Amino acid sequence: MRRDFLSLLKKDFKLMLSSKFLLLALGSLILYSCYINFIYVGIEQDIYPVFLYDPLHTQGAVSSEITEVESLQELKKESGDGYAVGIDASSGTPEIIMVSSSIHSTDRCRAAYALSLLSPANPTTAEVIGTDNKEMKSRREITCEFLFFELAAVGFLGLASMLFKEKQMGIIRVHGVLPVSKSAFILSKLCLFLLSDLVFSALLTVINLGVSEGLAVLPYVLLQAGILSLLMALVGFFCAVLLPNFKQFSLLYLVLAVFITTPVFLAGQTGIAWEWIKYHPVYHLFMAMKNAYWGVSSANGIYYTICGLTIVLLFLLVRRVLIREMAKEG
């Protein structure tokens, strides 16, 4: 029994190697890491630039944040993008000139900020109560998003495409007459993909969060990644066995994954309050993963019970479908 399972594992691993799956995972890892380290971390929204036209020097000491311009035309040009603010002090009293940002309250905020720069006497500071800085937050946020998308979209397709190939090669038919347990057939594939997903998650996390921070959240992340990987692999298995034209489905799936995960990412990362999002099952998976990246295991027993039950149910379902398919083939 154990030897059977080991030889199954060996066969699946060879198939995985031949389909260049590991190489492609490595490629994705490099692509994502480059994007995070070179582009995403640098993204920043600067404070509204403030321009001052003050030919008579009526304003005394102004903040160093203010850029002085030479003419009214220049002032209007610089403050015309809906973000920057212009102060026209040519008449002696400062007047604010700006283009609306389409949001009334933000406009007022911009004007008030610009005026506050004219009297920089006693700068106030806020009390900082968090532990992360902006860079660390960005790293956690985007690593989580990439990992989630990679597991949800590609994890699904990885196992499914391998199974599909086996189906084409006739391996499923051969297995129908071999004295190998059907569960072992499924389990060996699940184990391999789970392992490769876990390694991928660990590498992605450690590379992009740094060694100490990465290792600190790794146990939480691996738990969530394991759940997600098992779920997606089983769903992929199910689709590949059941759908006759899986190849076309894979294309549709990739697009579906983008459209399904986009609202989830929006709700999870920007604080848009949508009531209906809590009925979106993917949202809960994503939030659990996100919390894991902040080292919080806020997911409760109900969540884990539902995940566990779903995995078991999917496994049984897949097993049934596989047996039916084998009976049909052989």
Site for other proteins in 13-42 (CB under 8 A): 19-21, 24, 27-28, 31, 35, 39
- Cα–Cα distance, 201 to 77 (Å, whole number): 48
- Least distance from other proteins to the Cβ atom of residue 1, Å: 31
Site for other proteins in 101-120 (CB under 8 A): 101-103, 105-109, 111-113, 115-116, 119
Burial readout 133-142 (b: 16 or more C-beta within 10 A, e: otherwise): eeeeebbbbb
Quick one: 241 or 315, whose CB is closer to other proteins?
241
Burial readout 29-68 (b: 16 or more C-beta within 10 A, e: otherwise): beebbeebeeebbeeeeeebbbbbbbeeeebeebeeebeb
Quick one: 82 or 308, whose CB is closer to other proteins?
82
- Cα–Cα distance, 275 to 279 (Å, whole number): 9
Site for other proteins in 282-311 (CB under 8 A): 294
Cα–Cα distances in Å, from 136 out to 31, 212, 286, 293, 296? 19, 12, 19, 11, 16
User: Pick from 38, 44, 57, 302: which binds other proteins (CB under 8 A)?
Assistant: 44
97 binds other proteins (CB under 8 A): yes
Site for other proteins in 310-329 (CB under 8 A): none
- The interface region with other proteins, picked from 155-163, 170-178, 234-242, 277-285 by CB under 8 A, is 155-163
- Least distance from other proteins to the Cβ atom of residue 246, Å: 9
Question: Please, which contacts does 40-44 make with residues 24 or more away whose CB atoms are closer than 8 Å?
Answer: 40/138, 40/142, 41/135, 41/138, 41/139, 43/138, 44/134
**DSSP designation for 48:** P
67 binds other proteins (CB under 8 A): no
Cα–Cα distances in Å, from 213 out to 139, 219, 249? 11, 12, 39
Burial of 150 (0-12, 13-18, 19+ CB in 10 A): buried
Burial readout 213-244 (b: 16 or more C-beta within 10 A, e: otherwise): bbeebbebbbbbbbbbbbbbbbbbbbbbbeee
User: Pick from 1, 3, 60, 123: which binds other proteins (CB under 8 A)?
Assistant: 123
- Cα–Cα distance, 161 to 243 (Å, whole number): 12
User: Pick from 9, 22, 41, 96: which binds other proteins (CB under 8 A)?
Assistant: 96
Site for other proteins in 227-286 (CB under 8 A): 245, 247-252, 254-256, 258-259, 268-274
129 binds other proteins (CB under 8 A): yes
Hey, what are 26's tokens? 């490595």
- Least distance from other proteins to the Cβ atom of residue 3, Å: 29
- The interface region with other proteins, picked from 45-53, 182-190, 218-226, 315-323 by CB under 8 A, is 45-53
User: Pick from 62, 66, 151, 154: which binds other proteins (CB under 8 A)?
Assistant: 154
133 binds other proteins (CB under 8 A): yes
82 binds other proteins (CB under 8 A): yes
Hey, what are 185's tokens? 């057939």
Quick one: 220 or 249, whose CB is closer to other proteins?
249
125 binds other proteins (CB under 8 A): yes
Quick one: 286 or 315, whose CB is closer to other proteins?
286
Quick one: 31 or 215, whose CB is closer to other proteins?
31
- Least distance from other proteins to the Cβ atom of residue 185, Å: 20
Quick one: 123 or 301, whose CB is closer to other proteins?
123
Site for other proteins in 167-226 (CB under 8 A): none
**DSSP designation for 70:** S
